[in-house]
Amino acid sequence: MVSAVSLPALAQEGAGAPTAERSQLSAAQVFALADAARARKDYATAEAAYRALQSDPDPELRIEARFRLGLMLADDLKRYTDAALEFRRILDDKPGAARVRLELARVLALSGNMSGAGRELRAAEAAGLPPEVERLVRFYANALNARKPFGGSIEVSLAPDTNINRATRSDTLGTVIGDFTLDKDARARSGLGLDLQGQTYWREGLQSGVDLLVRASGSATLYRQSEFDDISTGLQIGPQYASGTDRITLSAGPTWRWYGKRLYTLSYGGTASWQHPTGKRSQLRVDGGISHLTNKRNALQTADDFSLSAAFDRAFTARLGGGVQVFGFREAARDPGYSLASGGATVYAFREIGRTTVVGTAGYSHLEADARLFLYPRRRIEDRYSASLAVTLRALHVGSFAPLARVKWERNRSSIEIYDYKRLSAEFGVTSAF
């Protein structure tokens, strides 16, 4: 026997019966009312009815109402972010609900979040799928080629930091001509910053399997001491090719960076990216880039940069996944003392705990300069260690915005004292995709 559900006035008005007879309806009647309202495109009444059912004491009825609401938001109203929130609420309680996870992957793809969509498909495979659902997986994997013409994301946070300029704590700098006393701005400074990050894209289909992709991105960390403000922005334009389940993206464009409100570097270059599924639960991505960087403060640091990286991601269960990335970087500067090569690796893992997402990372890199700068007694050689822990609290979301907290630690051991530093920082803010 289904329980009775009180229905908001908006939904009651669409039922076509006197108010006195409609003050209480069974859950089955409310489902019928909602489905009929959706069929006649009365989406306001349908949404009110589905949401009323989410207060039903039967958890299975609440899940069904949320699922039908998510489908309507995605398919009829094109409100992909709202639909994703409904599907995520279901998966918080039932992580093994394969059909729901597949629908989440679909709406993420439609919203332009291709990496998130792929992650959900791998999680669905990791959870285990019955044979009849395997066909849906293949269908949704192909649906990842669907393209949303416009989208993006934004993150805003307060960022307390023990070392905002990544500088040494030493008062002096050893050189071949003796110890120099460092200015206070050249030593480690703590501060509270406002951290802003955002990206947006526009996509235009050129022909079957080929899109023109335009991407703009920007980040800024702003402090009360404006001489430490760090701002960068970039623009990338190029084609994206889909070939079966593979995706190849080529792009080129400029990147600007300002430090202390003055232009610091200007670079032009191009990148190539290849993304390839290596199984039902895993994916490989290879990225390469080349650019020319002009340093506006020191002409000797003007350089050609070359980068190559490979990343492997895998879902272990429906709620647990991780990956590893290895990379190499070469900077060929005008002065051999500023030329360098570096390489390293980063590992990460994520875990869904109820309506909270936890992501942990750890990384190591090694750097060596080609030659010793005249001023310093040794050639620059460094080992850098890093770790971070981030938490996104989806239970406290407002619309598509969800609060996040992140703690980061860095330790850079360098043969040159001025580059040797420790850093501990945190971020508290909100993040959203659109």
Q: pLDDT tens digits for 57-115? A: 888 888 899 999 999 998 899 888 889 889 988 888 888 787 888 888 888 877 767 77
Question: If you average pLDDT over residues 135-148, what whole number do you get?
Answer: 51
Q: Name the E strands within 225-333.
A: 230-243, 246-259, 262-277, 282-295, 303-315, 320-333
Which residue ranges make up each domain of the chain?
A: 4-143, 150-433
Q: Is 157 in contact with 428 (CB distance < 8 Å)?
A: yes
Q: pLDDT at position 14, please?
A: 42
> Residue 386 corresponds to which tokens in the numbers above?
């890093």
Provide the residue type at 93 as one letter.
Answer: D
Q: pLDDT at position 6, please?
A: 45
**What rounded mean pLDDT belongs to the chain?**
83
Q: Is 419 in contact with 380 (CB distance < 8 Å)?
A: yes
Of the candidates 91, 144, 95, which has an alpha carbon nearest to the alpha carbon of residue 316?
Answer: 95
Same fold yes or no, 4-143 and 150-433: no
> What burial class does residue 149 get, using C-beta atoms within 10 Å of its C-beta: 0-12 exposed, 13-18 middle, 19+ buried?
exposed
Q: Considering the domain 4-143 in this protein, what is its CATH number? A: 1.25.40.10
Rounded Cα–Cα distance for residues 129 and 133 (Å):
6
> Residue 346 corresponds to which tokens in the numbers above?
């980063």
Higher pLDDT, 22 or 222: 222
Rounded Cα–Cα distance for residues 116 and 403 (Å):
18
Rounded to 10°, the helix 59-75/98-110 angle is 20
Of the candidates 234, 227, 287, which has an alpha carbon nearest to the alpha carbon of residue 265?
Answer: 234
Rounded Cα–Cα distance for residues 145 and 112 (Å):
10
Give bridge partners of residue 325 from the DSSP assignment: 311, 346
Q: Considering the domain 150-433 in this protein, what is its CATH number? A: 2.40.160.40
